[in-house]
Structure formats: C-alpha cells, structure tokens
Amino acid sequence: MNKFIRVDMTTLKVTTEEVPAQYAGLGGRALTSNFVAAEVKPTCHALGKNNKLIFAPGLLSGTSAPNSGRLSVGAKSPLTGTIKESNAGGSFSQKMAKMGIKAFTIEGMPADDKFYVIKIDMNGVTIEEAPAEILGGCGNYEAIKILSEKYGAKVGIGLAGPAGENRLPSANISFKDPEGNIRSAGRGGLGAVLGSKKVKAIVIDDNGAPGVPVADPEKFKAASKIFAKAMLDHPVAGQGLAAYGTNVLVNILNEAGGLPAKNFTAGRIDYNDNISGETLNATITERGGDGKVSHGCHAGCIIRCSQWYPDKDGKYITSGFEYETIWGLGADAGIQSLDDIAYCDREMDDIGVDSIETAVAVATAMEGGLIPYGDGKAALEAIKEIRKPTPLGRILGSGTAVVGKVCGLFRTPVVKDQGIPAYDPRPIKGIGLTYATSTMGADHTAGYCISGNILKVGADIDPLKKDGQIEYSRAMQIGTASVDSTGMCLFVYFGVADNPGGYQALIDMINAQYGINLTATDVDKLGESVLKVERAFNKAAGFTNAHDRLPEFFEYEPCPPHNAVWDFTPEEIDEVYAFENEGACNC
C-alpha cells in the first residue's frame, strides 16, 4: 500500500502521492488519527472547509487474515468536536488495500451546491456529478442499488445518506456490504463531514488490483491458522456471537443489572425475553425466508455476528441488527417489540444516522415529552422525520445532547456530546471510566471493559467495585487503539485475550506481511502513541480533564437493582490517562 490519494473538493482536483514519511508504517486508526492531528486545525469548524476526512484500511486489510476487513474513517467530529475514528465492515477496506491505496482523503469544499460521486479504480480517480435520483431523500438501500447498477455489481460504495446530505451531527457513513446491504461507520457524525464536502458517494472498483503483497507467505499462513483457531475455539468469539449476534448481551446485561432502562433510570427490565438474542435467533429461525441467523459483515469474517432479520413473511427487514440498537430502543426507550425495533433499525440505516446515537436520542426525547414512552410506532414515525428533515427530525438527527438541550433536561446521557451506549456505568464501573476518558466521547468500543467486568474474558474484575478499574480501562483503551489500527474487528479481542498464542499469531501476521519484527510491547506502544496523538488534538481543540466526566446525575441517582452510583473522584478518573503526562512538568 504505497498510494496516498487526496481529493480537493474546492478545486475538484486529485493528487496521488507516495505515502508521506510521517504516515509510513501506520494503518487504520493510527493513520487516520495521526493524519487528522497533523493536518486539521483543532479549532476549525468540523463542517467547514478546513476539516479533512480520511479513509484508511488497517495494516492487515486485504490479506487473508480472518476478520481484517475493517475500514477506519477519521476527521474532526461535528458531534463531539473531538478527533474521531469510526470503523466499519463492508468491502471498501479490502478493495483499497488490494489496490495499494494506503489512504484516501477528502479536503476543501465546493463553492456551489452540487453533490458529487468520487470514483476510484485502477485508472485513477474521477469526480462526477451525483445522479439526481440518489439525492434529496433517496435512502441508502436504493442509492446502493442505483450506484451498483451504474458502476458494476461488485464495486465497493461508501455514501452519505439523507442525514449526511443535510449535515446532521449524527449522520454516519454507510458502506455497501458483500450482499449490497449496509454497514456503517456509525459514531461521531462523519457522514455530515462527507455531506459538507458535497460528496454523496465514493465508489471503488478494484478490478485489476494487484492484491496485497506479503513478505513471508508461509509464516503468514501459519500464523493465520493459529489465529483463526483461537477465534473459533472461544465461547464468545466462536459460538455466542454467531448464534445470537451481539444481542446475546441483552440477557447477560439484564442479569447483571447493568442494562440501562427508561433513559438510565434502572439497570434491569422485566420484558427482556421480548428483545433478547435468544428470541432474535428463534424468530429468525422460525420465520425462515430471507432470515439468516449468522452472517459476516465483510469477506473473511469467521465470527459472523451479523444476521438478516426478516418480517413475518420471511422478507428481509434489516441486517447488522446490533445489541446497542436493540438495547437503545428496546430497554432505554421501552419498545417491547423486536419487529418495531427492526423497522426503526432499517430506517436509521436507510437515512444514514448512527443507530446508537439515534436510539439514545429517541429515549431522551421520550423523557423530554417529544415522543410517547415505549411507543415503537411513534418512534418509527419520529425517526422517519430525519429524512425530510422536519424540525423534529433535525433535533433527533442532531443527537442526544441536542435533544437534552431543546428539552431542558439535566438527565442527558452523553459524554463530550456523544450518547452513552448500552452499559450502565454505575453498576459496571470499568466501562464508565472508558466513557468518561475516551478520546472519542462516550464509546463502549474505545475500551470495552464489559469484557473483564461482565463477560470475564481477559480479566475478572468486580463491576460494582472501583478496584482495578482504572488500570483496566487504560489497558483496554490502549489495546483497542492498537487493534483499530490493524483492520481487525474488535471482537478478535475475545479470541486472543486469554490465549497468548492467539495474540502472538496476530502480531506474527503483521510481521510476516511487512517483513518486520514487532513485539507485544511495540504493539502496546503503538496504542499508547495513538491515544497520545488523539488527546493532544483534543486538548488543542479545547478539551480538558473537566470534559472527562460522566453526566452529573449518575453521581446522585442510584441505579436499581444494585442502587450503585458513579463514585469515581475526578482525580481517580484522571489517572486513566496518567501515561500521557510522563516526563511532563507537574508544577
């Protein structure tokens, strides 16, 4: 991967250059975050001409390494104002890597109001006016179909939905998956950045691509085999996720008393059977038709946590039907019908909004009186308004923080203006530290402490106690920054956390591909360096430790059934990133 492509939307000119020295050896999040930190003014407006958007495959993307097909997208976030990396499945990352493209950036902003399609193939990059039929409310499912017809069934596509066209802060970037359905770089509003640059879609055609060179194919193959076995042997990575999807977590979190219910007023619901992973599996199995219990979001996935959820007649409704979405609408917003939630999920994917942010926004809007509590039909109608967008649609599409603001609420579950996802930080204190301190705003995937707190994978820490949580959240955030740089799905963590051989195999694959000799310590150092770069950007953008705090109500509202409150002191929270100041002046 030696090509670094820049598209300047101000001039509509494309530059293809060798990878700049400062970005050599980086991939995925390490690359996107170093790029944004180096080239984007931290105090710029995220929707202005000085923000830059970057797409980068991970270090292992495009190889035969299992689960290595994630794409990292980076920019300054219009939702949080922080640096942002959001990653997604689909085929985009693997195609870029096979074409030798290390990164692809979109910079500047056109003076006119036209939307464009950027086409990337082995002949280069072209910028065309977007067909009118995919603009102004056309959903992502339809737009992908039209673009696939126009540019070829096998092309990869990344696009801004109606929400991104309207630059709404929770707009995601949607990616076509192998079957033409939708995968999302969900969090942080990067679809609004794409829309601000007047790019409706990026189409990538890897026909004729040389593929990814591997320095030591034998060593790579051997390591890959060990790595795959580590995945498949693990009860979570190899079995639980394939059977029940990520939604396996509804019953687990409910049992643990950490499933946030009714806008974070409790940690348990009594209708969990209606929306659980077990019910999801049984419903798909029973309905048949288009339904698939297990399915991968990109070629080469062996975890296969996705699924196709069909309606009563067996017709496809949605895929990638994730726990966090089902939790948000099901437990937090009180919608007790999996079908109602599925139609909302489809609508959010079709409009192109982050389904976590939007689900939390809906639950918060219910507390604010904008939508009747627990009403799945009303929630769907409200979500549909984001497409137009009506004033209510604009509010919901702007995310949880804006909903809280316009409703005058103090019970607004956000950190750095990003909605808190599906794990209550009071009874599961490790994840609370990640929410508070993550460089991305509240984000469970930034350091998934649920693993050691609840699933007991990789660690065994009492979720209700503070002991050991600071070190654990720190280690998980560092490890995640490394994994996010490889193109690997985050879930590979489950397979390697308790399996030193599996972890070594992951490092061995990188070494074999590039002909280098990274150690586990090097990988940790990479993660640390990524976090330091991100923190430095955020600091220059105006963020301080005072922003590394959970909403105040968690400190004084106990969460039943454990009646836990958030009791980390500011000083304790700040220890998570103590490594950032090593060697700095402490006067």
185 Cβ contact partners less than 8 Å away, ≥ 6 residues apart: 71, 73, 86, 87, 88, 158, 172, 173, 175, 191
Query: Which residues contribute to the site for a second copy (CB under 8 A)?
Result: 41-50, 78, 166-169, 192, 195-196, 370, 390-392, 394-395, 397-398, 402, 405-410, 412, 539-544, 546-547, 549, 551-553, 556, 585, 587
Cβ of residue 408: shortest distance to a second copy, in angstroms?
2
Q: Tell me the H-state helices in 376-442.
A: 376-384, 391-397, 400-406, 429-437
Interatomic CA distance for residues 15 and 554, integer angstroms = 49
**Token pair recorded at residue 90:** 């689909």
Cβ of residue 402: shortest distance to a second copy, in angstroms?
6
- Between the CA of residue 247 and those of 252, 273, 276, what are the distances in Å? 9, 12, 6
Minimum CB distance to a second copy smaller for 286 or for 555: 555
Cβ of residue 321: shortest distance to a second copy, in angstroms?
28
Minimum CB distance to a second copy smaller for 285 or for 581: 581
| Amino acid type, 266 | A
Task: Confirm if 175 and 158 have CB atoms less than 8 A apart.
Answer: yes
Cβ of residue 203: shortest distance to a second copy, in angstroms?
24
Cβ of residue 554: shortest distance to a second copy, in angstroms?
11
**Token pair recorded at residue 574:** 């700040």
**137: burial class by Cβ within 10 Å (0-12, 13-18, 19+)?**
middle
Q: Which residue has the tokens 């969460």?
A: 559
Minimum CB distance to a second copy smaller for 242 or for 392: 392
Cβ of residue 552: shortest distance to a second copy, in angstroms?
5
Cβ of residue 52: shortest distance to a second copy, in angstroms?
14
- Between the CA of residue 156 and those of 209, 346, 361, 507, what are the distances in Å? 13, 20, 30, 28
Task: Confirm if 82 and 508 have CB atoms less than 8 A apart.
Answer: no
Cβ of residue 478: shortest distance to a second copy, in angstroms?
24
Minimum CB distance to a second copy smaller for 309 or for 537: 537
**442: burial class by Cβ within 10 Å (0-12, 13-18, 19+)?**
buried
Minimum CB distance to a second copy smaller for 78 or for 430: 78
Minimum CB distance to a second copy smaller for 124 or for 391: 391
**Token pair recorded at residue 8:** 């300047």
Minimum CB distance to a second copy smaller for 382 or for 496: 382
Minimum CB distance to a second copy smaller for 34 or for 398: 398
